[in-house]
Amino acid sequence: MSLLARPWVKGAEGGGGSPPPDPPPEPPPTPEYTTIIDNPTAPLYLYQKVDTLVRNGNITAKKGVPTTSTSSCVRAEYCTNIGLQGGTYKTASYPIKFRNCSKVRISGPEVSDASVLGLSVNYSSDVLIESPRISSTADNGLDIGFNTDTIVRSPYIRNVGANGNGIDFDGNKNAIIYNPDVADCVGNGILVQHVGRAEIVNGLVQRCKLGLAIINNFGPVYIEGGHYPSVWVGQNQNAYFTGVNVDASIKFNRPTNVYVDGVLISA
């Protein structure tokens, strides 16, 4: 139904006047992606691609081989406006590996059986990752390293081996995770290190050697809400906890600044 600039009023005697013509239709929106790769089944290597979306892949690659196109289900390097939606990616050294990309959008992939990293986005900018499901990785399940402006929403991570952490936030500038659900990690559930600023909101970590580790950061780390079995804060950190449930006490190495609900506890 069109919206008219002014209402049509029927003629006073019932026969005069007619509605003005509808305005011309608006042009269709410019598509966000000019190239869409639907339902791929073979490994993809995307290099210097622009405005490209991979959608609903079902890809099995190879484990234990060098970092080539065949060791990843989807590998992207030096791409701009690159997206991945849905799909299953498994049995690879690095099932999903993005590096040196800008405007990265990843939503809803299922990743499993990785001999190294499950889902990794490194040295990239303007990164948004939503609802990945990651399981059975030898190293980090979700590896987010040395990015600028990263948002992660609702990652679900299970069964991470001795070489890694459920989520590894390393070297990021301005990163935030909402509602991470991490369990059954041999190492840390979530590791935050070398960041300029990081925030974790409503995290849930279970059955991990250490729930949350905050070390070697040069900016503040904010933990808001959530439940962790244990927390460790290293020296010379600025960590702020608000409304957080920790089964064991928050442990730290002095000198450091650890605030719980506005109170400095590390003095």
pTM: 0.86
Task: Tell whether 39 is covered by a domain.
Answer: yes
Among residues 206, 208, 266, which one has the least CA distance to residue 241?
266
Check whether residue 158 and residue 223 sit in a common domain.
yes
Find the domain containing 37 and state its range: 33-138
Q: Would you say residue 12 lies in a domain?
A: no
pLDDT tens for residues 10-20? 444 444 455 55
Q: Are 176 and 196 spatial neighbours (Cβ–Cβ below 8 Å)?
A: no
Digit-coded pLDDT (tens) for 149-163: 999 999 999 999 988
266 is a domain residue = yes
Q: Is 255 a domain residue?
A: yes
- Phi and psi at 141, nearest 5°, equal -70, -55
Nearest residue to 120 (alpha-carbon basis) of 165, 161, 180: 165
Q: Do the domain assignments include residue 70?
A: yes
- 69 with 181, same domain: the answer is no
> Is residue 7, in this structure, part of any structural domain at all?
no
Give 229's contacts (C-beta < 8 A, 6+ positions apart): 189, 205, 206, 207, 208, 210, 211, 246, 247, 248
**pLDDT class of 24 with cuts at 50, 70, 90:** low
The dihedral formed by the CA atoms of 134, 138, 142 and 143, expressed in degrees to the nearest 10: -160
DSSP string, 241-266: EES-EESSPEEE-SS-EEEETTEE--
Cα torsion 56, 139, 146, 101: sign: negative
Same domain, 215 and 242: yes
Residue 17 lies in a domain: no
Please spell the DSSP secondary structure of 24-70, one letter per residue.
Answer: PPPPPPPPS-SEEEES--S-EEEES-EEEEEES-EEE--SSS-SSGG
Q: Considering the domain boundaries, does residue 24 fall inside one? A: no
Q: What is the pLDDT of residues 80-91, one digit of tens each?
A: 999 999 999 999
User: Using one digit for the tens of pLDDT, what is the confidence trace for 43-53?
Assistant: 999 999 999 99
Does one domain contain both 160 and 259?
Answer: yes
Please tell me the total count of domains within the chain. Answer: 2
Mark whether 182 and 213 lie in a shared domain. yes
CA–CA dist 221, 203 (Å, integer): 14
DSSP structural state of residue 71: G
φ, ψ for residue 183, nearest 5 deg: -155, 155
Could you tell me the pLDDT band of residue 206, with boundaries at 50, 70 and 90? very high
